[in-house]
Amino acid sequence: MTKVAAKHKAQPRSVAVNTSAATVVVDFSKFLTPRGALANTPAIDQYYESTADVLRSSGDPACTPQARRLLVVELVACVERYVRSLLVSLVDACPCSRRVVERKQVSLASVAYYSGSELAFAVLDHQALSGVSEIVKATLQMLGLEVKQGSSAYVALSGFERVCQLRHAIVHQAGRLGPNNLLEIDIRATSPVVVSIDALGYQDLVAICHAAVRAYNQYVFESVIERWAREGHIVGDWGQDQVLFEKICSLLLSQVDRAGAVVPDEYKKIWGG
């Protein structure tokens, strides 16, 4: 019987197509610095301060188109920080919101890392807030308040969603907008496009974000006050309501937009005094 010689499969050799990867050992602690205490000004005023910084940078003649695209990422981050800070501060200040989150589970690492008043940050640690659906979800999750579709806050946040679509393209596709991004910002394109923003265009994006933050801030204030009144936490008597009302104003009453506003006077406006 004639034996058929077995065929040997060729084994491909490795060919270098780039420089060999080096083993890199870096002490990442050198990239960190102590954060310091959180500011005690309203979250909306902290937002105004941070966006003023990025707006100045965007208008600098030395700011390149590539750098201005990255400033869109920072702009969205300013809104995210505002929402996150506001939600956490309200959990600490509002008895109704505290009941919403008191059953949430957090890790032991979070307990060791955050101070008591900041522990609610742990609930949002793995949650992005760069979009209308994420903010609506977090508001319900942390405060028990529903931002309803069609409300002024939801409409303004939907405008912010369009800015987030630009941010998504910048972060994940080097500024190239995909078909889904374009649909979300209601643009029809027949050929590939990229994000391109000049200084004036950047101001438009900041205006959209300002509108979203202002509408959301007003919505939260009104919703919290209405719930407090409904559940008997405030009763329309300044002597009884002062501590709680001053606390909510310290979190939501903008000293930038309402410079010189007097808290007792704001209270009287609510109760028709």
130-145 pLDDT, tens digit each: 889 999 999 999 999 9
8-21 pLDDT, tens digit each: 678 888 899 999 99
pLDDT at 92: 87
pLDDT at 38: 78
Which residue type sits at 88? V
Q: What angle do CA 38, 44, 46 make, to 5 degrees?
A: 40
Q: Residue 176 — φ and ψ, nearest 5°? A: -80, 125
Which residue blocks in the chain are alpha helix, DSSP H?
Answer: 43-59, 65-93, 95-101, 108-113, 132-143, 152-173, 179-184, 199-231, 238-252, 263-271
Q: What angle do CA 22, 23, 24 make, to 5 degrees?
A: 105
pLDDT at 11: 86
pLDDT at 273: 60
Question: In angstroms, how far is the first alpha carbon of the chain from the final one?
Answer: 112
More confident residue, 179 or 167: 167
Give DSSP secondary structure letters for 102-138: TT----HHHHHHS-GGGGGGGGGTT----SHHHHHHH
Instruction: List residues bridging with 60 in a β-sheet.
Output: none
pLDDT at 268: 92
Q: How far apart are CA 225 and CA 102, in angstroms?
A: 21
Q: Is 106 exposed, middle or buried (0-12, 13-18, 19+ CB in 10 A)?
A: middle
184-235 pLDDT, tens digit each: 888 888 888 889 999 999 999 999 999 999 999 999 999 999 999 999 999 9
pLDDT at 237: 94
More confident residue, 3 or 21: 21
* Global confidence as pTM: 0.90
Give the CA distances from residue 238 to residues 54, 222, 241, 271, 273, in Å, rounded to whole numbers and listed in that order. 41, 18, 5, 10, 10
